[in-house]
A and B are shown apart, each in its own frame.
Chain A
């Protein structure tokens, strides 16, 4: 990119920055909006099945967004799988021999991380927490185990792994389909709402942990100049 183009673009970006800054200041000076979603959400919190407002919004009031979000994550994972290794690379990247400190730390931390993930999932109903945080902790545990040499690298996923990856999304979709027969999409019947949300979150936690770990573990590696 030659110098003139860089200068012009920088100028344009600076002008954009100033314009956006002024627009943001103007928006911040506006009075509170007439539609107060927070008040509506807090009013309906009792009927939502959980006691934490963010969880209620994520899994109940805007559950459709969460369903599509999991679908997007699955699609991204499919994209990563499409460009990653398809067979165990024979001359694999030289894995450093597992170091004693990392190895013993991973062995100690992994069960604790499972415990923390389970707690975050359970506590998400009344405190900050929930499926996404728990899934992220599980994924971090998987990456830690891999880096410490306690888990082999992930190759072409077998049927069990594929089923587990899709399970969260399919469970959510099944609940949505079952509820669709009764009218609105993802409108949980009030007595079952808490149990349904917990079940969906549990499935999501498992799948999310595997998906996020897969995003790391399936990144394209060195010896992959295959020719499809």
Chain B
């Protein structure tokens, strides 16, 4: 039970909690927050698992750095689309019964 193990387990818990928030909540901004928490959980799990011997490992650290930048890109795009939807429909929820007939 060392530092990395604790954070690896925390990352797993954050991932599941984020997934629960993403699926069970309807408000788009809350979905985006949950999706970010999921991403952070994945990064913690990745680095915690890789460094379970205690030695810092630069390769997964570089991967997590890349992951953080990609996740902010996805967050910004999601927020832009959500705001566009807000401007068009007035609500921050996906339209009900939207289907391609």
Contacts and interface: CB of A to CB of B under 8 A. Distances in A.
Interface of A: 1, 6, 9-10, 13, 16-17, 20-21, 24-25, 27-28, 32, 37-38, 41-42, 53-54, 56-58, 61-62, 65-66, 69, 72-73, 75-77, 79-80, 83-84, 132, 212, 215-216, 218-220, 222, 224-225
Q: Which of B8, B15, B58, B63 has the most CB of A within 10 A?
A: B58
Contacts of B84: 83, 220, 224
B45 interface: yes
Nearest to B11: A24
Interface of B: prevailing SS: helix
Q: Which of B49, B76, B79, B83 has the most CB of A within 10 A?
A: B76
A139 B52 CA distance: 34
Q: How large is the interface on B (under 10, 10 to 19, 20 to 34, 35 or more residues)?
A: 35 or more
A20 B80 contact: no
B20 to A, nearest CB: 5
A79 B58 contact: no
A62 B59 contact: yes
Given A83-B84, A220-B84, A38 B59 contact: yes
A20 B15 contact: yes
Interface of A: prevailing SS: helix
A99 B34 CA distance: 34
Contacts of A66: 66
B13 interface: yes
A41 B16 contact: no
B12 A37 contact: no
Contacts of B70: 69, 72-73
6 contacts: A16-B19, A25-B9, A28-B52, A56-B58, A73-B69, A132-B69
Interface string B58-101: 11011101100110111011011101100110000000000000
Contacts of B65: 54, 58, 132
Interface in B1-44: 5, 8-9, 12-13, 15-17, 19-20, 23-24, 26
Given A38-B58, A132-B65, A222 B24 contact: no
B9 A83 contact: no
Nearest to A17: B16
Nearest to B55: A38
B83 to A, nearest CB: 4
A38 B56 contact: yes
B15 to A, nearest CB: 7
A159 B26 CA distance: 40
B16 A16 contact: yes
B45 A24 contact: yes
